[in-house]
Structure 1
Amino acid sequence: MSMKLLEGERALITGCAGGIGRGIARALKAEGAIVLGSDIAAPPAEDGIGFLAADLSKRDGWKKLLDGAVKKLGTISLFVHAASPRRLEADTPLSVSEETWDLMTDINLRSGFFLGREVGRHMRDNRIKGRMILVTSQHREMPRNLPHYSASKAGMTMVMKELARVLAPDGIRVNAIAPGAIPGGGFVAGNLDALVAQIPLGRAGTPDDIAQVAVAILSERFGRYVVGTTVEVDGGLGLTSWIPAKA
Structure 2
Amino acid sequence: MSTKLLEGERALVTGCAGGIGRGIASALKAEGATVLGSDIAAPPAEDGIDFLAADLGRPDGWKTLLAGALDRLGTVSLFVHAASPRRREVDTPLSVSEETWDAMTGINLRAGFFLGREVGRHMRDKGIKGRILLITSQHRETPRNLPHYSASKAGMTMVMKELARTLAPSGIRVNALAPGAIPGGGFVADNLADLVKQIPIGRAGTPDDVAQMAVAVLSERFGRYVVGTTVEIDGGLGLMSWIPAKA
TM value normalised by structure 2: 0.97
Counterpart of 2:225 in structure 1 is: 225
Structure 2 Cα separation of the partners of residues 156 and 53 of structure 1? 23
Counterpart of 1:34 in structure 2 is: 34
**SS of residue paired to 1:36:** strand
Counterpart of 1:239 in structure 2 is: 239
Cα deviations by residue, 1:142-194 (Å, 9 ceiling, x for unpaired): 00000000000000000000000000000000000000000000001021100
The answer to whether the 8 A contact 1:17-1:44 is kept is no
Structure 1 Cα separation of the partners of residues 190 and 94 of structure 2? 19
Counterpart of 2:94 in structure 1 is: 94
Amino acid at match of 2:190: G
Structure 2 Cα separation of the partners of residues 2 and 69 of structure 1? 26
Counterpart of 2:62 in structure 1 is: 62
Gap regions ≥5 residues in structure 2: none
Q: Does 1:158 align with 2:131?
A: no
Structure 1 Cα separation of the partners of residues 115 and 227 of structure 2? 18
Counterpart of 2:16 in structure 1 is: 16
Structure 1 Cα separation of the partners of residues 3 and 200 of structure 2? 35
What pairs up with 1:1-247 in 2 under 5 angstroms? 2-43=2-43, 45-242=45-242
**SS of residue paired to 1:142:** coil
User: Which stretches of structure 1, 4 residues or more, deviate above 4 A after TM superposition?
Assistant: none
Amino acid at match of 2:209: D
Tell me how many residue pairs correspond in the alignment.
Answer: 243
Cα deviations by residue, 1:220-243 (Å, 9 ceiling, x for unpaired): 000000000000000001111228
**SS of residue paired to 1:57:** coil
**SS of residue paired to 1:47:** coil
Cα deviations by residue, 1:47-76 (Å, 9 ceiling, x for unpaired): 221101000000000000000000000000
**SS of residue paired to 2:155:** helix
Instruction: Identify if the C-alpha distance between structure 1 residues 101 and 23 changes in structure 2 by more than 3 Å, giving closer, same or farther.
Output: same
* 1:43 CA displacement: 2.9
**SS of residue paired to 1:186:** coil
Percent identical pairs in the alignment equals 84
Cα deviations by residue, 1:83-106 (Å, 9 ceiling, x for unpaired): 000001111101111100000000
Amino acid at match of 1:114: F
**SS of residue paired to 1:108:** helix
* 1:41 CA displacement: 1.5
**SS of residue paired to 1:28:** helix
* 1:45 CA displacement: 3.5
Instruction: Identify if the C-alpha distance between structure 1 residues 199 and 95 changes in structure 2 by more than 3 Å, giving closer, same or farther.
Output: same
The answer to whether the 8 A contact 1:79-1:133 is kept is yes
Structure 1 Cα separation of the partners of residues 142 and 88 of structure 2? 17
The answer to whether the 8 A contact 2:85-2:186 is kept is yes
**SS of residue paired to 2:46:** helix
Amino acid at match of 1:217: V
Structure 2 Cα separation of the partners of residues 44 and 190 of structure 1? 31
The answer to whether the 8 A contact 2:44-2:50 is kept is no
TM value normalised by structure 1: 0.97
* 1:6 CA displacement: 0.0
Cα deviations by residue, 1:200-221 (Å, 9 ceiling, x for unpaired): 0000000000000000000000
